[in-house]
A = this chain, B = another copy of it.
Amino acid sequence: MTIYDISKQAGVSIATVSRVLNGSENVKPKTRKKVLDIIEQCGYTPNVFARGLGLNSMKTVGILCADSSDIYLAKAVYHIERNLKTAGYHSILNCTGYDLAHKKEGLSLLLNQRVDSIIMVGSNFISENEKDNQYIRDAAKQVPVMLLNGDLDCENVFCTMCDDYKSMKEVTGRLLSQKIHDILFLYHSRTYSSMKKLAGYQAAYVSMDLPLSKDLTCFFNGSHEDIDGVCDYLCNLHDKGLRFRAVVAADDMLAVGAVKYARKMNLRIPQDIKIVGYNNSILSVCSEPKLTTVDNHLELLCSQLVKTCICTLGGTSQPAKTIFSGEIILRESANL
């Protein structure tokens, strides 16, 4: 079933069928109706490969994501896909893992598919080592690249992010104001976003003229689902003599690990130890007690990102960076 079959049955040329298909004005209403009827009746749908070949686009964007099974990234992918679909675009998903070589591989796979744009989901795609961002710059020479929670100054790269620095500074500052000066900062990746959070944590101390202890900046080197591992890690630190009356974590999973630690140590939350999570994920409500956490308005970020993407593809100039503020969600694990 091709455009030729339709044109024959309708007694018109393929050009006319094509015009009808593409909603051109220059078709006599009567002709349009006849063609439309036959298309309907035959259940004909245009061949997207042929159309793609002619237009050099299949209205598809590539979503690059290290791990779409991660609670937070999964939500991002979901919202991005839904927004893209609304705008008439298809989503090719490519999960790369956290290894740079595989990220490059995934990216080139998508570019070879001739996607109209690339969306990189998660700050882990940006490295502190500028050399490791070159593959993104290269990609941007071919198609517009959208970064969710990543920051890169580059032509044709658009960044949509949450101000993690500000949120974390605010959270830490509130704890410091409560005379809690021994706050442990807990993170488990060195992504752009994590580094911003760390900077915010440190800035809070500095702005209040309080001394920072290196020992309280703690990196958990484990899986992003290993709650027990986090608990053990903290117990270990405690055994080594480290003391702290609060934990601010780079994500909710880490915070839940801290909650488990507190229970194990028979510390009351929040009286003896305050714990703050990040992302306002389902884990923060699942936890007992529930986590005070930061909501970075992911859904909003995603819809803005897709808007930027679509507008860019449509040829209207867009801001290189869009930054939203997070929001502190007060629950039981810390009264800020």
Contact = CB atoms under 8 A, between A and B. Distances in A.
A132 interface: no
B113 A90 contact: yes
Contact of A288 (B58, B113, B288): B288
Quick one: copies of this chain in the complex? Answer: 2
Contacts of A68: 68, 74, 77-78, 81
Nearest to A106: B85
A287 B74 CA distance: 21
A81 B93 CA distance: 7
A60 B62 CA distance: 13
Nearest to A77: B68
Interface residues of A, number: 47
A286 B287 CA distance: 6
A94 interface: yes
A282 B227 CA distance: 8
A225 B282 contact: yes
Interface in A81-126: 81-82, 85, 90-95, 109, 112-114
A283 interface: yes
Interface stretch (A28-36, A47-55, A203-211, A212-220): A47-55
A79 B282 CA distance: 21
Given A112-B48, A282-B227, A77 B53 contact: no
A87 to B, nearest CB: 13
A77 B93 contact: yes
7 contacts: A49-B49, A49-B56, A68-B78, A69-B74, A91-B93, A92-B92, A283-B286
Interface of A: 45, 47-50, 52-53, 56, 58, 60, 63, 67-69, 71, 74-75, 77-79, 81-82, 85, 90-95, 109, 112-114, 225, 227-228, 253, 256, 259-260, 263, 282-283, 285-288
